[in-house]
Amino acid sequence: MSEKVLVLDFDGVIVKLNVEWPKVYSKISELAGYPVTDLITFWKNMFGTELYGKANKIIEEYEMNALPKSTIYPDVHGALKIFNGTIYLASMQSQKVLESFLEKNELQAYFKEVLGRERFGVKRKQLEYILEKERGKKIYFIDDLQRNIDNCDDLNIKCILIRRSEGETLLQKVKEILEV
């Protein structure tokens, strides 16, 4: 049996990030000079530009402010503990936000690497990076956004949707992976 690798999204999987999104969108639209209605597309199209860097800094501040108001899902520690293998965090949040959250919740030790939006414009690039690093291993990716799941269909990764709002838990998803 080949070794298993777990890749987790952040917002909606590990924590519900309590960001003031309407304010973020209006700030970014102002900065961009056109109405930005979808950040995933914005990051993808603007990656590497000056605008990307500026928007990143602005949103990072909102994300940092949101952290104290955002609570970790209660099953996260348990799920990470039972997986007991290589785990990555792959998120379109900023690196600083991801690292400070992990540190505050004493979770850093579980993760081999934390992938934030500064190095990657899209989730798919993060998955390709992990595929390259973990060649030969079976990779499982858990995300709460159907779009991200659809986007990794053709990669050699098992992509799993988690619907927290419908009562699905990370602990259950990880148990299912371990049983395969």
- Positions that interact with Mg ion (CB under 5 A): 9, 11-12, 144
Within 10 Å of residue 84's Cβ, how many Cβ atoms?
12
Q: What is the rounded CA–CA span in Å between residue 114 and residue 140?
A: 16
Cβ closer to Mg ion: 161 or 178? Answer: 161
Cβ closer to Mg ion: 11 or 60? Answer: 11
Q: What is the rounded CA–CA span in Å between residue 38 and residue 143?
A: 17
Q: What is the rounded CA–CA span in Å between residue 156 and residue 138?
A: 8
- The residue whose Cβ lies closest to Mg ion is 12
The distance of closest approach from Cβ of residue 162 to Mg ion in the complex, given in angstroms and rounded to an integer, is 9
Residue 86, phi then psi, degrees to nearest 5:
-75, 125
The distance of closest approach from Cβ of residue 167 to Mg ion in the complex, given in angstroms and rounded to an integer, is 17
By the 8 A CB rule, do 14 and 171 touch? no
Cβ closer to Mg ion: 63 or 144? Answer: 144
Cβ closer to Mg ion: 137 or 169? Answer: 169
Encoded tokens for 115? 């992938």
Cβ closer to Mg ion: 36 or 89? Answer: 89
The distance of closest approach from Cβ of residue 10 to Mg ion in the complex, given in angstroms and rounded to an integer, is 6
The distance of closest approach from Cβ of residue 13 to Mg ion in the complex, given in angstroms and rounded to an integer, is 6
Would you call 10 helix, strand, or coil by DSSP? coil
The distance of closest approach from Cβ of residue 3 to Mg ion in the complex, given in angstroms and rounded to an integer, is 25
Q: 3-state SS string over 49-91? A: CHHHHHHHHHHHHHHHHHHHHCCECCCHHHHHHHHCCEEEEEC
